[in-house]
């Protein structure tokens, strides 16, 4: 799993070996019960084979949506939402392949590190974009919260002051975003995310003067991340950056 950027920062992830043991058990169970295949290359066996794991990005970079919503914080992603990265996200979110939480958390950690290096963040709180309660019930998993928690734990074990806090909630009536264009997504999401006072009080007590980074698995138009940022800023919490696993790529139309 390519984490060269973490090595350069002196953050060698020896703990991943222990997490990898759990990953192996999950893969073995999946292979035994339903016939496991690598989500990247479809090779029978592990959920993520050694070759596909080795090919994962080892750094993150600025990845703003185009066009970007007005006022959106700097956006970072480990890579494009394509190929193995896309299959990792889908595998966890849609198929509950829990063994994929570790590599996804590692990729998100790369984006968080790049965001921290760029913005000069101090004690940092990762705030996952909230999922609709109906989606969580249907899937039995809040995948964004899970990988955000995992990324914070990885970074914290290696001396960085990074925590995770689910500060945000969605209001009732938000439609599924699939199939909506950027304007429709923005209209659907306006005012849809809130930051309850109880979370703010807990944050102020535990980590005063914290830097906030909004986290998501994929950034598409940026409407969801911008709405999460707005909800935090509306209660006086500044957002330094947005960190994601992957970013969709804008495809230009072919001129006929």
**Secondary structure (H, E, C), the chain:** CCCHHHHHCCCCCCHHHHHHHHHHHHHHHHHHHHCCECCCCCCECCCCCHHHHHCCCCCCEECCCCCCCCCCCCEEEEEECCHHHHHHHHHHHHHCCHHHHHHHHHHHHHHHHHHHHHHCCCCEEEEECCCCHHHHHHHCCCHHHHHHHHHHHHHHHCCCCEEECCCCEECCCCCCCCCCCHHHHHHHHCCCEECCHHHHHHHHHHCCCCEEEEEEEEECCCHHHHHHHHHHHCCCCCEEEEEEEEECCCCCCCCC
Q: What is the pLDDT of residues 166-205, one digit of tens each?
A: 999 988 755 555 555 556 555 555 667 988 888 788 787 7
Q: Which pLDDT does position 181 carry in this prediction?
A: 57
More confident residue, 103 or 17: 103
Q: Average pLDDT, whole number, for the chain?
A: 81
More confident residue, 226 or 132: 226
Q: What is the pLDDT of residues 42-95, one digit of tens each?
A: 888 788 888 999 999 999 999 999 999 999 999 999 999 999 999 999 999 999
More confident residue, 37 or 243: 243
Q: Which pLDDT does position 182 carry in this prediction?
A: 55
Of 44-48, 219-223, 230-234, the least confident? 44-48
Q: Which pLDDT does position 20 carry in this prediction?
A: 43
Whole-prediction pTM: 0.80
Of 34-38, 155-159, 211-215, the least confident? 34-38
Q: Which pLDDT does position 132 carry in this prediction?
A: 81
Q: Which pLDDT does position 155 carry in this prediction?
A: 94
């Amino acid at each position: 799993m390519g984490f060269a950027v973490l090595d350069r920062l002196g953050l060698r992830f020896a703990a991943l070996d222990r997490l990898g043991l759990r990953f192996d058990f999950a893969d073995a169970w999946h292979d035994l019960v339903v016939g496991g295949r690598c989500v990247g290359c479809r090779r029978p066996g592990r959920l993520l084979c050694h070759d596909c794991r080795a090919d994962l990005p080892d750094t993150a970079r600025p990845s703003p949506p185009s066009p970007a919503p007005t006022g959106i914080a700097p956006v970072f992603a480990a890579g494009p939402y394509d190929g193995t990265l896309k299959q990792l996200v889908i595998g966890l979110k849609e198929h509950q392949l829990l063994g994929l939480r570790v590599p996804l958390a590692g990729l998100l950690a790369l984006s968080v590190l790049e965001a921290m290096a760029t913005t000069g963040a101090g004690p940092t709180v990762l705030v996952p974009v909230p999922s609709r309660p109906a989606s969580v019930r249907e899937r039995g998993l809040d995948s964004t919260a899970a990988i955000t928690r995992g990324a914070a734990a990885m970074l914290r074990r290696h001396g960085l002051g990074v925590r995770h806090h689910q500060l945000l909630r969605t209001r009732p009536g938000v439609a599924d975003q699939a199939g909506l264009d950027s304007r429709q997504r923005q209209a659907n999401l306006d005012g849809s995310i809130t930051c309850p006072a109880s979370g703010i009080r807990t944050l102020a007590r535990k980590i005063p003067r914290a830097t906030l980074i909004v986290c998501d698995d994929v950034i598409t138009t940026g409407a969801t991340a911008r709405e999460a940022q707005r909800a935090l800023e509306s209660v006086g919490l500044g957002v330094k950056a947005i960190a994601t696993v992957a970013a969709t790529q804008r495809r230009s139309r072919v001129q006929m």
